[in-house]
Structure formats: C-alpha cells, structure tokens
Amino acid sequence: MTLIKRQLQTVIQDRMFCDKAIILVGARQVGKSTLFEQILGDPRLGISNDQILTIYCDDAESRRLLENVSLTDLRQQLAGKRLVMVDEAQRIQGVGLTLKLITDHFKDVQLLVTGSSSFMLQGKPNEPLTGRKFEYHLYPLSTKELFDDGGLLRIRQTFESRLIYGSYPDVVTSVGNPRDLLMNLSGSYMYQDLLSLEGVRKPVLLEKLLVALALQVGSEVSYSELAQTVGTDNKTVEKYVDLLEKCYIIFRLNGLSRNLRNELKKAKKIYFYDNGIRNAVIQQFAPLDMRNDVGALWENFFISERIKHNHYTGHYCNTYFWRTKTQQEVDYIEECDGMMTAFEMKWNPKKGNAIFPKAFLEAYDVKETAVVTPDNYLDWLI
C-alpha cells in the first residue's frame, strides 16, 4: 500500500522533545498510528529501535503496562527509552494521570499518544495534561496531501471518486472495491466507541439518526423533527448528535445571528467529515450523473476539505452559515479576527455567479466573498 505523507508529519516533528506530550486524535482508520510509525521510523531522528516503546492499547496485555502504574513501575518500563507511543490511549483506565507522570518525570522521553474519541481524551481523563500537551486532529486525506503526493493530475483523476467514496487512506490507496471498504469501515468504527458509553444502548436508533442526518446534508436540521423521524425525544437526539460529533463522524455549523431581527437564531446544519461515510450510511454510491444530491455532496466535500485546510495550516476561525426567515442564505462563513469570508458553493460552473444578500453584507464586516465551483475550488484548498 502506498503511504501518503501527511501534512501534520512535519508539524509534529518540529514540536518533538519540547517537554510536552503530543496527542493525535481523530476517527478510526484515518491513519493516526501510521503517521506516528512513519515519524518513529524516520532515520533523521537518530533514535534506535531499542529506544522506542510502542504500546497498542487495543491489546489487553499491552494496556496493563500503563494501567494503575506507579512511578517506580514506569522507571522500570521506560529505562533507556527516548520515544513512547501509546496507541488508542482512551482504552486505559486513568490514562490522564499516567501520561502526566511520564511527561513530568521523564523529560528525555517524547510521548506520542493517539486516541479515537475526543470524549475520552478531551474530557476528565485529559485534565491532568493541561499545559503539558500539543494536540492535533488528523482527518481523512486532504486535497493538499493528495496534490503533494500526485500533483494536479491525480487531483483531477480522483475528483469524482472523492465526492462519492471519500478520502479515507484505505479507500484512496487500495486497489480493492471502495464500496466494500466503506461499508466495513462505517460499520466498525461508528459504533464501537459509542456503544461502550454508559447510556448508549440503541444501535438501531443511531443508525436511523445517521441516515436522517445523511439525507439532510446541506439543509437546516431540527432536533424535534429528527426525533419524530427516528422515534425518540429531543434530548436523546441532541445527546447522540453530540457523541457522533465527538467521534469525528459529523460536525455542526451553527447559524450566524447577531444583528438582524429575522435571522434564524438557533439554526444548525450537520455535515459529515467524509463523503464516503455519508454515502455508506445511505448505501448510495451511484455516479454523479445519476444522482439528485450532487449539490449536497459538493457542499459537504468543500466545507469538510476547508476545515482540514484551516486546521493543518493554523488558520483559526469561527465557522457558520447564515439564513433569514425570508430564505436569504449564505452557505458557509469563516470569521477570523472579526472579519468574515463568505462562500457560496455552486456545482455547475456555468451558474457560478451568485448574489450575496445585501442585508448580510450590510450587517457584517465582510472581507471577501467567493463563489466556489469545481473549476476554482483548489484556490481555497492548496
């Protein structure tokens, strides 16, 4: 399998041996372990194999090495080590305190940690690491990573495939059937962590909710309407949406509402981090010219790619959409240092002209507007 260099590799290598743990979070199978293994295998580090300890926490025996350990235990385990990789650390009881002990007492050891679920690593178990970590989110392969690996030709050749099958590393690099890979992937990673949580005991409800969300990509969603659709109550829908977001399956855009009386105050849209997962949820892999949801696919694709781009390049911004009760709308907005960039997504380049609502432009400090089509989208991602 071809390995594609990830944008975070250089960023992480530049942050190593700065007396802080490096935590890499993200969904299952996005390549977290592979990225750290590539870093560990880089000869430029000048670290031999016997100076590296790798603990894969999916294995029960391996987990015991770091569960309820004392400082004395750690001194024995880490003697002579320079790099310690802990894979799927959320599976370790009291992981935060163990990682804190390593970070505080072994200054010559670089700690590399992966975790699939932010609700485990960013909640109470993570409190002991406050001020002791650099944390990064790894996504499915980005447009920039594919461009750097294969150039503009590869970007163009894989464009339709990425809208349908997404950008998970196995899907992009495998010569197998992407449909089969995605069906296995969506079934295995989506529920394993969620169903281990207390109070989440309804996989059928989760599946129904994901289907409902997949069918409403690009549209405003209502928790009460979702609750009626899947046969539950609003609070359960809100809880499951929150957990799905913390498992890096979906993300929310809130409506921007500050100035105008007729703006929708509590509006929200929900997107998938990966088009392939979205299509696997509804089992729809038809070619683009046979679909009636191309506009939604295009919107989901560009916004998720833009989020990857912003994270990897350190472009910190708030993200929104905007809509009024009279159906005036802006698809996607980024706010950085008080200034806004407004995006409209148009699948058909011939219909690429868009008029941004005058009410929006007058109410907010808009630095730039952009109509994004398949002809010009790379300007915003590379």
Per-residue pLDDT tens digits for 107-127? 999 999 998 765 455 554 556
Q: What is the CATH number of the domain that holds 85?
A: 3.40.50.300
**3-state DSSP call for residue 17?**
coil
Q: Considering the domain boundaries, does residue 235 fall inside one?
A: yes
Q: What is the mean pLDDT of residues 204-220?
A: 91
- CATH code at position 213: 1.10.10.10
**Number of neighbouring beta carbons within 10 Å of residue 203:** 12
Torsion sign across C-alpha atoms 370, 373, 218, 242: negative
Query: Given 111, 137, 163, which residue is the final one in a domain?
Result: 137
- Closest CA relative to residue 19, chosen from 100, 122, 128, 114: 100
Q: Measure CA 265 to chain center.
A: 26
Do the Cβ atoms of 138 and 31 come closer than 8 Å?
A: yes
Q: Does residue 338 sit in the same domain as residue 216?
A: yes
Q: Is position 94 within any domain?
A: yes
**Quick one: which of 104, 129, 242, 127 has its CA closest to 113?**
129
Domain presence at residue 166: no
Are 258 and 348 part of one and the same domain?
yes
Residue 269, class by beta-carbon neighbours within 10 Å (0-12 exposed, 13-18 middle, 19+ buried)? buried
In a domain, 365, yes or no: yes
* High-pLDDT (> 90) share of the chain, %: 62
Rg of the chain on CA atoms, in Å: 22
Closest CA to 130 of 153, 165, 162, 103: 103
Residues 245 and 373 both lie in one domain: yes
> Comparing C-alpha atoms, which of 97, 88, 101 is closest to residue 27?
88
Q: Which residues of 52-81 are buried (b: 16+ CB within 10 A; e: fewer)?
A: bbbbebeeeebbebbeebeeeebeeebeeb
Last residue of one domain, picked from the residues 106, 137, 168: 137
* pLDDT (tens digit per residue) in 18-28: 999 999 999 88
Residues 116 and 214 in one domain: no
Task: Looking at the structure, tell me whether residues 132 and 204 fall in a common domain.
Answer: no
- 149, part of any domain: no
Check residue 92 and give its pLDDT. 82
pLDDT tens track for 120-175: 555 545 567 778 899 999 999 999 999 999 999 999 999 999 999 999 999 998 87
Same domain as 120, residue 213:
no
Determine the Cα angle at 256 with ends 215 and 245, to 5°: 45
User: How many structural domains is the chain composed of?
Assistant: 2
Same domain, 265 and 116: no
Residue 29 structural domain: 8-137
Same-domain check for residues 352 and 243: yes
Closest to 242 measured CA to CA, from 265, 263, 219, 268: 268
Examine the fold and report which residue of 85, 119, 137 is the final residue of a domain before the chain moves on: 137
Tokens of 309: 């781009």
Same domain, 112 and 211: no
- pLDDT, average across residues 6-14: 95
For residues 130 and 203, membership in a common domain is answered with: no
Q: Is the dihedral of CA 121, 122, 128, 132 positive or negative?
A: positive
If pLDDT is split at 50, 70 and 90, which confidence band does 198 have?
A: low
d(CA 57, CA 71): 20
1 domain residue, yes or no: no
By the 10 Å C-beta count (0-12 exposed, 13-18 middle, 19+ buried), 294 is classed as middle
Asked whether residue 262 is assigned to any structural domain, the reply reads: yes
> Is there a single domain that holds both residue 205 and residue 332?
yes
Asked if residue 155 is part of any domain, the answer here is no
Task: Indicate if 113 and 233 belong to the same structural domain.
Answer: no
104-113, 191-200, 300-309 — which is least confidently predicted? 191-200
* 119 vs 328, residue with greater confidence: 328
**C-alpha–C-alpha distance, residues 225 and 212, integer Å:** 10
| Residue 221 pLDDT greater than 80, yes or no | yes
